[in-house]
Structure 1
């Protein structure tokens, strides 16, 4: 299959344009900029599935009342080093940072913190929150689910039972931070969205049809759709597969238990009684300084990273990478050369802007 064509948009231009779209949708300037910066950050990191391709869907959800502007997360339980917050269905880029900021502050105070967040709008790239903890010198672990969203078939099944259930870990090593960030599905739903808009093709076994046949066709998930415009997973008969067979399926199960059931926000299904989907997140923050091993942790961790990366590469010219290396390289390249978007993705964003009366970049 031929490589997709791309339009390159300068990062600053794209960030300002997306912020203007959300202002046009009714958000205030600060929230609009937060959403735009977060979505752009996902593109800069190479996680296009969680980037500006989401703009039409976010606007659609906001207009339908599924996600609300200007929300402040409500503290439901506060036990000092642990807390539970309710996002009140606010934009994830508003309420998730509030939960993360609380977790960071409490971990810096107590040495450890456990913070649950429920009923948040789509929180986007979870690695962004691990990076925030790294900047504070903290280790963090994040389990995420999507209440009311069934997209992924469990190992051995064909019917949808899990959300894409992301998982992320951040490790603050001096000069060499590590960020592990992935969906427990074989591909994120956003990657199916990108493929449906003319972007990178899916692996041939990323999806599964009701009869068990494997598929790389986005129609398996979305059903029929136009060249531009919204995609609705409810219209498709198939499912995304879990990564790593039983291992990814098992991790997705635990994300639903910890981020969904424990926080009280609900699991991916059954969905009959829910009118909207929402993210849940359970985060753990640990301070190496309070733990008493910070110097040893930094020295041993750096030495181990260097030793792992010194492994002889399986393919000449393709060195072994640590978690986060590819994102850092992609960020530098895209800041220099612009963010690549497929023509269909760009057309969909422009269509939303026209609908809201927001002029396109000159």
Structure 2
């Protein structure tokens, strides 16, 4: 295992993506998303995903130069076409647009299709929570992930849950598959010819449309105080603590992943100094 400073790891991932034909703006977004997953302890969605992404680029399943396209806008709903590109770029486009729609309508939703793996859903709902919005995201195909987030008091980590449907039961997985897959237009497992198309739906609820934001934050913090007296952790706090530790001590990168990155164009020439 190699410990790498987050900034160095982001730079390495960016260079590898650039060498694979990804424009700089897109490479930086994808690299930052992968490293952020590592920072918060969701290693399965971190830089260890990069080799598989690059293989999909090589196989023609991902167009590294693709730019997501917004379409199908109808009042508070819209669809983002990932255009066979990196899912993180489509998801960021969806987050930006669903936030704008929520400001206008109070509640808004954006579906994503025609892209590969979007990364960790918790990242996107946390972005919404950091902007005084309640966020919900669910994905069809695969493990049918579900993520929700809401803000707490200023300076406190957002409440975030992010889990795979099998952890919650078959029925929930079926509904997530239908909404994330069919509603987005990506299709559902066994009934689509596009095995590389991920379907995701992101919903944003503008807190100010329902009640004063300061009041919501205060009540949320009071509720968290009650939860802290119990046995279980408050959602989002483990990730926040892990992030602080890894920012300070470095991100652990498995040796096989480091060797893979080092063998690729743009990859690191040597192991970095310990953070």
Q: Same fold (TM over 0.5)?
A: yes
- Structure possessing the higher radius of gyration over alpha carbons: 1
CA separation in 2, counterparts of 1:128 and 1:301? 20
Unaligned runs of 5+ in 1: 1-5, 147-162, 185-241, 314-319
Q: CA RMSD in A?
A: 1.7
CA separation in 2, counterparts of 1:321 and 1:96? 28
Greater fraction helix: 2
Structure 1 ranges of 4+ moved more than 6 A: none
CA separation in 2, counterparts of 1:103 and 1:340? 34
Check if 1:168 corresponds to 2:147: yes
CA separation in 2, counterparts of 1:85 and 1:58? 20
CA separation in 1, counterparts of 2:240 and 2:266? 35
Which residue matches 2:26?
Answer: 31
> After superposition, what is the alpha-carbon deviation per residue over 1:252-280, rounded to whole angstroms, capped at 9, x for unaligned?
11111001011211112245x33x41211
Check if 1:66 corresponds to 2:67: no
Aligned residues: 269
Whether the 8 Å contact between 1:170 and 1:178 is mirrored in structure 2 is: yes
CA drift of 1:75 comes to 3.0
- Picking from 215, 219, 244, the partner of 1:332 is 244
Check if 1:99 corresponds to 2:94: yes
- Picking from 285, 290, 294, the partner of 2:204 is 285
Check if 1:181 corresponds to 2:176: no
CA drift of 1:293 comes to 4.5
CA separation in 1, counterparts of 2:95 and 2:75? 15
CA separation in 2, counterparts of 1:52 and 1:295? 37
Change (3 A) 1:293 1:348: same
Whether the 8 Å contact between 1:67 and 1:90 is mirrored in structure 2 is: yes
Change (3 A) 1:79 1:11: same
1:299-310 maps to which residues of 2 (within 5 A)? 299-310=218-229
Whether the 8 Å contact between 2:21 and 2:65 is mirrored in structure 1 is: no
Whether the 8 Å contact between 2:18 and 2:266 is mirrored in structure 1 is: no
CA drift of 1:39 comes to 0.4
CA separation in 2, counterparts of 1:115 and 1:357? 35
CA drift of 1:345 comes to 2.4
Which residue matches 2:269?
Answer: 360
TM-score by length of 1: 0.71
What secondary structure sits across from 2:3 in the alignment?
Answer: strand
Whether the 8 Å contact between 1:119 and 1:279 is mirrored in structure 2 is: yes
Comparing 293-302 and 88-97, the one that deviates more: 293-302
CA separation in 1, counterparts of 2:262 and 2:176? 35
